[in-house]
Amino acid sequence: MIMEKEYSFKATLGGAPPILASPIKRDLMGIYTLWQRDVIRLWRDRIRLVGSFIQPLLFLFILGSGLSPRMGAMGIMRSGRALGYQGFLFPGIVAMSVLFTASFAGVAIVWDREVGFLKEVLVAPLSRTAVVLGKIFGGATNSVVQGSLILLLFPLFHLRISPERLILAFLVMILIGLTQTSVGVLLGVRMTSSQGFMVLMNFVILPLFFLSGALYPLDRLPGWLSVASRIDPLSYGVDLLRWDLVGVHYHSLLTDLSSLFVFMGVMGVLSVILFNKTD
C-alpha cells in the first residue's frame, strides 16, 4: 500500500521571522563553518595530500644529496660541528611545502567563485571579513597539515629533534601558513579565472621560494638579492624554522617574529579591504 505522506510547511518553516544573533557571534560561527568546510574538503582529497609529498621529497633526496658534497664545504657550523647540506635544506623544504599548500587557499577562493559557491557565502548574513578569515584559517590549517607530514620525516635525514622543538616548529608553521595564506587570498580575491590565478601564482610563489633562503644561506648575498630576500616574508619563516630545527639563523628572532606578524597583518587587512570592494 502506498502511503501518501502529509507535509506541513507551516509546522516546520512557520513561526516568527528569524532573529539575528549578534553580528560578532554570527561572524565567529561563519568563520568556524568556512574553516570546517575547508578541512572536510582536504580530508576528502587525501590523494592530493599524498601526491604533494613527492615534490618536497625530490628536493630533499635529489637536490640535497646532489649538492651535499659541495655545499658541505660552505662551513655552516652548528654547536661546533659542521651541518650537512641536507640538514640545512630540511627546514627550508618544510617551509616550502607550507608555502605551496598555503598558496592554494588563493586558488580555492577563485574556484569557489567559478563553481558559484562563493555566491552562496556572499549572500549569507555574514561580513566579508569573516569570509576572508575563514578562508585564511582553512588554508593555513591545510598547509600546516602538509608541512607537518614532511616535518615528521626528519629521522630519514639523520636529524635529531626533541619533542619540544617539534611543537615549536608546529607553531612556526602556523605562523608561516597564516602569512602565506594571506598572500594567496590577497591575490585570489579579485581573480575570476583559476587559470589566470595559476599564471600569476607562478610569478609569485617561485620567487618567494627562491628568495627565502630555503636553498642557500642568506649571508654574503649580492646586494640586490639581499634586499629582495628581506621583503620576502617566507625568508623570516624559514629562518625561524631553521633556528628551531637545526640551530642556524641569520636574523634575530625578534626580527623574524615581528616581520612575520607585520606581513600577516598587512596581507590580511589588504585582503579584507580588497574583498570588500569586489562585487
Partner 1 sequence: MIEAKNLKKIYRSRRGDRVAVDGISFTVGEGEFFSFLGPNGAGKTTTIQMMVALLAPTSGEIIIDGLNVVTSPHEVRQRIGIIFQDPSLDDRLTAWENLEFHGRLYGIDSRTRNKRSNFLLDVMGISERRNDLVRTFSGGMKRRLEIARGLLHSPRLLILDEPTLGLDPHSRRSVWEYIHRVRREVGMTVFLTTHYLEEADSSDRVAIMSSGKIVAQGTPDRLKKDLSSEMLSVETENPDSLNAYLISHYSSLEGQIRREGDGTLLFPLPPGLDLSPWDLLRSIPLPIREASVRRPNLDDVFIYHTGSGLKSENADKRGGR
Residue 85 and residue 89: Cα distance in Å, rounded? Answer: 6
CB atoms within 10 A of CB 279: 3
Within positions 68 to 127, which residues make up the interface with partner 1, using CB under 8 A? 115-117, 119-127
Interface region with partner 1, contact rule CB under 8 A, candidates 37-45, 176-184, 218-226, 228-236: 37-45
The nearer residue to partner 1, 127 or 255, going by C-beta atoms, is 127
Q: By CB under 8 A, tell whether 13 contacts partner 1.
A: yes
Does 196 interact with partner 1 (rule: CB under 8 A)? Answer: no
- With both helix axes pointing from N to C terminus, report the angle between 194-211 and 233-246 in degrees, rounded to the nearest 10: 50
Q: Is 17 in the site for partner 1 (CB under 8 A)?
A: yes
Q: Of the candidates 90, 93, 100, which has an alpha carbon nearest to the alpha carbon of residue 245?
A: 90
Inter-residue contact 110 to 197 (CB < 8 Å)? yes
7 binds partner 1 (CB under 8 A): yes
- Residue 55 vs 127, nearer CB to partner 1: 127
Q: Which residue among 1, 3, 44, 155 contacts partner 1 (CB under 8 A)?
A: 44
Q: Which residues pair with 81 in a beta bridge?
A: 78
**Chosen residue from 3, 4, 15, 224 binding partner 1 by CB under 8 A:** 15
Which residues 125-154 are close enough to bind partner 1 by CB under 8 A?
A: 125-127
Distance in angstroms (rounded) separating the CA atoms of residues 9 and 7: 6
C-alpha cell at 123: 549572500
Residue located via cell numbers 561563519: 30
Applying CB under 8 A, the site for partner 1 has a residue count of: 39
Kindly state whether residue 165 participates in binding partner 1, applying the rule CB under 8 A: no
Nearest-approach distance from CB 238 to partner 1, in angstroms: 32
Piece of the chain touching partner 1 by CB under 8 A; list 35-43, 82-90, 96-104, 189-197 = 35-43
Residue 125: burial class (beta carbons within 10 Å; 0-12, 13-18, 19+): exposed
Residue 88: how many other CB atoms lie within 10 Å: 25
Q: Residues 6 or more apart from 273 whose CB is under 8 A from it?
A: none
Residues in contact with partner 1 by CB under 8 A are 5, 7-10, 12-15, 17-18, 20-21, 23, 25-26, 29-30, 32-33, 36-37, 40-41, 44-45, 115-117, 119-127, 279
